[in-house]
A = this chain, B = another copy of it.
């Protein structure tokens, strides 16, 4: 499944339930933020080292995947509603970051 496929599926999902009226960019930013909050809660008491093996425990793994899915879903839906190409925007930002943080400054 590509990001485009996901966005098409989410658009159909919302249309079929008449949820489009709820999916304003403002509301979707809040939904994205709420899901990132739930993801954060799964990591809050872990040390950085523990966080690297967070998927080893099956129950925690399922919870992390569920929150990452929700974050992806609301980010994809928000971008679709706004008409923004996320991967193009990200690529442009990485290009800018290459200039802002030249490699030789970190050698």
Q: Which A residues fall within an 8 A CB radius of B?
A: 1-3, 5-6, 9-10, 13, 16-19, 22, 24-27, 29-41, 43-52, 54-55, 64-66, 68-73, 75-76, 78-79, 81-84, 86-94, 97-98, 101, 103, 106
Contact = CB atoms under 8 A, between A and B. Distances in A.
A68 B79 contact: yes
Copies in the assembly, this chain:
4
Nearest to A34: B41
A55 B71 CA distance: 22
A58 to B, nearest CB: 14
A65 B36 CA distance: 19
Of the candidates A35, A47, A66, A86, the one having the most CB atoms from chain B within 10 angstroms of its own CB is A86
